[in-house]
Amino acid sequence: MAGLAFLTPWLLWGLLSLPALYFLLRATPPAPILRKFPAVALLMGLQDEENTPDRTPWWLLLLRLAAIAALIIGFAGPILNPDDRVSGRGPLVVALDASWASAQDWQRRTAKVAEIIAQAEQDDRPVALIQFSDAPKGALQFGAAGVARDKIAGLAPRAWAPDYAAWKARLTEEDFNELIWFSDGLDHEGRADLRSQIDAKITVVQSDRGVIGISPMTFEDGEILTSIKSLSPSNSIERVEVLGLDPSGSLRVLALEEVEVTARSQDVKFELPTELRNRVRQVRLQGVRSAGAIALTDDSIRSRKIALISAKEAAEGGLLLSSLHYVREALSPTADLIETDLETALLANPDIFIFADIGRLPAIETDSVLEWIEEGGTLVRFAGPRLIASEIGQREEHPLLPVRLRSGGRDLGGAMSWGEPKKLRVFDENSPFFGLQVPEEVSVASQVLAQPDPNLSDRVLARLEDGTPLVTAKDHGAGRVVLFHTTANAAWTDLPLSGLFLKMLERLSIGSGARSVSAEAMQGLVWKPRLVINGVGDIMPADGLAGIDGALLAEPVLGEDLQPGLYENQDRAVAVNVISGETDLKAAQWPATTERLSLTPAEARDLKPIFLSFGILVLLIDILASLAVSGRLFAKIAAVVLALNFAHPADAQDEADIIEAVNNTVLAYVITGDPRMDETSHAGLRGLSAELYRRTAI
Amino acid sequence: MNASPQNAAELRAGAEAVSSGLPALLARAEHLAATLALGAHGRKRAGQGEDFWQYRMAEYGDDLRRIDWRRSAKSDKLFIRQKEWQAAQSVYFWVDPGASMAFGDVPKSDRAQLLALAIAILLSKSGERFGLLDLPEPPKTGETQLGKMARAMMGRSAVQDYAKLVPVALPKGSRAVFLSDFLGDWDGLRDALSRVADQGVRGVLMQVLDPAEVAFPFKGRTIFESMQKSLSFEARRADALRQAYLDKLAQRSEALQALARKTGWRFTQHVTDKPAQSAVLWLYNALELG
C-alpha cells in the first residue's frame, strides 16, 4: 500500500502550533530599522496614522508558515511508500506457493518473508514457515521467529505446482491466528478448497507481475511452433530464444525472435533450416527465470530417423549401381540414416523405412514392420527385379504394399519393346507432390504395374503420362506405406538422377512427420531422468534421481517424484515440461475481503532531507524577503552597484573633465543624441565662445 | 570636495576652492567696486568717513575747525563740510555646532562650515570684519582671523543634539549669518533669533538640510534616533508618516521665513546635494553689504 508514514508521528502535533504562530507572526511587525535621523525632533509629536503596526505581508507570513510546516514535517521523518506491517497476535503461518510461477520474483518474496518474520519477532509471535509445493512433513511446527528466519535460506521455488490437497489436511484453522499466503498468481487445482477452509485468516501477498511461460516446441508444416502463455496484466515484449547444440557440442542460441505478447496464448513460429532444427534442444524466454519459461524438446522436432533397407548385395557392385545410393545421397543431409538389417533398424525406431527392391520378408519381420507402421511409421518401398520375382501382392493385397501388383513388369522403350520410355504426368492437386516441376528429361523405362482395383485411383500419388501409377500409397494405422513403382537407382529410370527425386523424398518424409514416443510405447518401461529443470529454470543433470515408470510419464503430473526434464530409455527421449501446448494459465482468484499485502512496494523513500532542505530554502528566501520588506535589500544592492560603478576606470577621465569644467568658465550643452541638434548647439556655442573671447576678458 | 575635512587647514583649502570658483568678479563688479572699497561702507548719513556727504550751515557750537572755508567763501554763510559716515561691516557667523549637523553623506556641518568660511574669505578679501558669534573675540579681518575661525569651527565637538543659540549682544548695524538646520526647539530658537534681530542686527538665516531630511525616503517599521540618541521615535510605518513630516518641515521653514520677514532678514534653505557655490552666491547677495 503506497502512502506516507512518519517515523515520529507525534512531532506532527507541532503543526497545531501553526495557527498560533500565524497570529504571532501576524502581530509581530518586521524588526524595526534603527536610523540616525536629526529631524526626529520634527517627528516627535506625530501620531502614527495606523494604529496597527506595519503588518507582515501575507505572502511573507505564508512563506514562514510553509517553512515551519516543512521543518516540522521534515523532523517527523516522513517516508513515502513505507513497508506494510503485519501486526497481529498469536501463531503466524507464512506459506509460500513456491511453484515455478513464483520463481521470477523469488528474491522479493524471500525478502518479504524475512521482513514479515522480523516483524513477527518484534511482536514475539510463533512462526511456521511452509512451502505448499513441498509435501507436508508432519503437523505444523511453530517455532520462534529466529528459527523460521534460518529456514528462509532453505526455501526454493519448485518446478511443480503446490500440493494443496496434501496441505489441506494439515492446516486447520485452530492452529494459527494468521496465515500469510505468498501466492504465485496461478489458480492451481485445490486452491479454492484450501482457501475456503481457512479463509478468514488469510493475508495474501501476490506479485503484480503476471505469470509468463512458454510451451514446448512442435514441428508443423516446416515450422517450429511454440506459444507464450501469459497472464500479464499488460502487453509485454518477450524475446524467445531457441537454443541448440553447436558443432562443438555446446549450447547456443540458434534463433531469437521478439514477440509482443498480446494474448493469453501467443503463438511464435520459427523457420529453421533442417540442419539447425536437428540441433534444437530447448526454447526459452530470455531473461525470465522460471521453470515455466523454458521448454525442453525431445525427438519430436528432430529430423526423422530413416532406416534404409536393401537386399544384400551379392557381389561388390559399383557404388553408383547400389540400389540405395541416390536415396542415401538425397536424404543424408537432413535425416539420420540407419543402414543395418531390418531387425536392428526396428529397434532404433526409425520414422521412415525405405525398402529398396525388397521382396518377401519373413512373417515375423512383416508383423513387426506392420506394427511399427500402425504406430505411425512410414514405409517407402522401391520396386525392382526382386520385388517382381518375389511375386508378393499379386494375388491379394500385401499389407506392406499399397496396391496389388500385376505379375511381371513393364518394359518401355527397351530393346525388346515398342514405344518410348514414358515421361511423368504433372502431379494433380491431391498428390503430396503437387506443385513440383516435372523435368522434361525424366523418364521411366521399366516399372511394376498396379492391378486396376477399384480403390487404386485413391492411392495413386503420381502417374506416368499414360496414366499408369508411378507412386502409390495407402494409410495403415497411424502410418502409411508408399510404393515407387520403379527402382531407387538408375536401372529402370533416370528419376533418381533428377532433382525431382530429392524433392519427392522430402515431401514424403515431411508428410510423415516426426513421431514422438507414444503413450503406449512408454508403458511398462522405466525411464531414466537425464536432465531436470529446477524451479528457477536451470537445467541440471538428474543425478541420483530414480527412474520413472512409463505410465507416469504418459500423463505427467509434475511433482517431487516427476520433475520436469528429459527422460530417456535407450535412445529414445521424452521431454516433460512445466507447460504443455494445451496449458491455459488461470489467474488465482481471491475474495475481495481477503487482506492483501503488496509484494512490490514502491521503494520506501525517506522524505526528511527533502522537507528539511525545502524548509531551509524557504527560510533563506525569507531572509531576502524580510530585507526587501524592510527596505534594506535594495540599499545593499545599491551599495554593491555603487561600489561597482566607482570601480569603473572610465570614470577617472570623467572626473578630470568635471574638475576642469568647474575650474574654468566653460560653455556646455546637453548632448541630446540628435546629431543635427547637437551640431547646431556645438556650432552656436563655439561662435559664442569666440565672440566672448574677442570682446571680454574671459 | 565632498570628503569631510579632517582639520582646519583642509577646511580652509576647501573654502578657498569654493570661493575661488565663485563669480567673484561679478560680485566685485556689482557690489564691491563701489561699496566695498577699503572695507568701508557709506552709511548714507553724515559721520566719520572719507567721502563727501553734504555741506550744511554752521550752527552754534560747531567746531571752527570743521568749517569749510572754501565753500563758505562763496557766500555769506558759514558752511560745514560733512562727510559720509563710513565704517567697516562686522559679520557674525553662527554655525550650528550641534550633533544633528553631523548627519548626511555630506555632513551638514561640513557644508555649513564650508559656506561660512567661503563667505568669510570673500569678506576678508573685501576687508570686512568677521567672526564667530559664540567666540568672545571681536570680529576682525585678515588671514589670521580666517585661520582662527576655521580652527574654532573644526575644534568644536558636539555635545548636544541640537545646539542652543545663546543670544549675544551684537553691535548695532552689524550683520549675522546663521547656518543651521533649525531643527531644535522652536521656541528657544525663535526667542534667540528675535532677540538678535531686536538689537538692530540684520542678517541671513540659512537652513542647511540633508536630502534625506527633505525627502523622507523611509519605509516600514523604523526607529528614528537623533545623532546623540537623546531623542528616539518609533514609526511603525514610516511611509505613512511622510506627509505629516513634510508638513511639519514646511511649517518650520515657513515659520523661519515669517520670522525673517518680520525682522527684515533673509531666509533660505540649502540642501547639501545642491552645489555649494549657489549657496555662497546667495549668501553673499543676501548679506547686501551695501
- A266 backbone dihedrals φ, ψ, rounded to 5°: -105, 115
- Using CA coordinates, name the residue in chain A closest to B160: A38
pLDDT tens digits for range B92-104:
888 888 888 888 8
**From CA A370, how far away is CA A377, in angstroms rounded?**
9
Residue B236 has pLDDT above 80, yes or no: no
- Burial track A594-618 (b if 16+ CB lie within 10 A, e otherwise): bebbbbebeeeeebbeebeebbeeb
H or E element: which one contains A21? Answer: helix A17-27
CA angle B34, B39, B42 (to 5 degrees): 60
Per the CB < 8 A criterion, the answer to whether B286 and B220 are in contact is no
**Contact across the interface for B181 and A41, Cβ inside 8 Å:** no
**From CA B120, how far away is CA B149, in angstroms rounded?**
9
Smallest Cα distance from B273 to chain A, Å: 16
**From CA A343, how far away is CA B267, in angstroms rounded?**
146
Q: Quick check: A248 contacting B, CB < 8 Å?
A: no
Helix spans in A361-433 (H): 363-374, 385-390
Between A123 and A423, whose confidence is greater? A423
pLDDT-based confidence at residue B254 (cuts at 50, 70, 90): very high
Q: What is the mean pLDDT of residues B146-174?
A: 78
Smallest Cα distance from A675 to chain B, Å: 30
- Burial track B96-133 (b if 16+ CB lie within 10 A, e otherwise): bbbbbbbbbebbbbbbbbbbbbbbbbbbbbbbbbbbbb
Q: What is the mean pLDDT of residues B7-31?
A: 58
Distances (CA, A) of A43 to A30, A622, B102, B184, B225: 21, 31, 19, 12, 10
Q: What is the mean pLDDT of residues A327-348?
A: 81
Residue A502 has pLDDT above 70, yes or no: yes
In this prediction, residue B207 carries a pLDDT of: 92
Q: A29 contacts in B (CB within 8 Å)? A: 221, 236
The interface predicted TM-score of the complex, written ipTM, equals 0.70
Q: What is the mean pLDDT of chain B?
A: 78
Q: Quick check: B64 contacting A, CB < 8 Å?
A: no
**Contact across the interface for A629 and B220, Cβ inside 8 Å:** yes
Sole residue written with cell 510404393: A483
Which of B96, B170, B173 is closest to B138 using CA atoms? Answer: B170
**Contact across the interface for A29 and B221, Cβ inside 8 Å:** yes
Amino acid at B14: G
Most confident residue range from A580-584, B43-47, B72-76: B72-76
pLDDT tens digits for range A363-382:
888 899 998 888 878 888 99
Q: What is the mean pLDDT of residues B188-216?
A: 86
pLDDT tens digits for range A607-663:
888 888 998 998 888 888 877 776 666 666 666 665 555 544 444 456 777 787 777
Residue A460 has pLDDT above 50, yes or no: yes
In this prediction, residue A514 carries a pLDDT of: 47
Lowest mean per-residue pLDDT among A350-359, A505-514, B43-52, B67-76: A505-514
Smallest Cα distance from A618 to chain B, Å: 22
Q: What DSSP string runs through B68-82? A: -HHHHHTSSS-EEEE
Lowest mean per-residue pLDDT among A46-50, B20-24, B100-104: B20-24
**From CA A444, how far away is CA A493, in angstroms rounded?**
4
HSE at residue A664, side-chain half, CA atoms within 13 A, is 11
- In DSSP terms, which residues pair with B42 in a beta bridge? B86
In this prediction, residue A640 carries a pLDDT of: 61
pLDDT tens digits for range A106-147:
888 888 888 888 888 877 888 888 888 888 887 778 888 888
Residue A559 has pLDDT above 60, yes or no: yes
Residue A679 has pLDDT above 70, yes or no: yes
Q: What is the mean pLDDT of residues A194-205?
A: 81
State the DSSP code for A99.
S
Q: Quick check: A30 contacting B, CB < 8 Å?
A: yes
pLDDT-based confidence at residue B161 (cuts at 50, 70, 90): confident
Q: What is the mean pLDDT of chain A?
A: 80
Longest dimension (CA), chain A: 161
Count the helix, strand and coil residues of chain B and give each as a percent rounded to the nearest 5. 45, 20, 35
Q: What is the mean pLDDT of residues B138-147?
A: 81
Q: B216 contacts in A (CB within 8 Å)? A: 39
Q: B213 contacts in A (CB within 8 Å)? A: 37-39
pLDDT-based confidence at residue B21 (cuts at 50, 70, 90): very low
Q: What is the mean pLDDT of residues A500-504?
A: 84
Q: Quick check: A57 contacting B, CB < 8 Å?
A: no
Residue B19 has pLDDT above 50, yes or no: yes
Q: Quick check: B219 contacting A, CB < 8 Å?
A: yes
Spatial neighbors of A164 by CB under 8 A, at least 6 apart, are A132, A188, A189, A190, A191, A193, A194
Q: B225 contacts in A (CB within 8 Å)? A: 34-37, 40
Number of H helices, E strands in chain A: 20, 33
Q: Describe the strand order of the beta sheet including B232-235 as a list of residue ranges.
A: A33-36, B222-225, B232-235
In this prediction, residue B2 carries a pLDDT of: 45
pLDDT-based confidence at residue A509 (cuts at 50, 70, 90): low
pLDDT tens digits for range A470-498:
999 998 888 889 999 988 888 888 888 88
pLDDT tens digits for range A236-290:
888 999 888 888 888 888 888 888 888 888 888 888 877 777 788 888 888 888 8
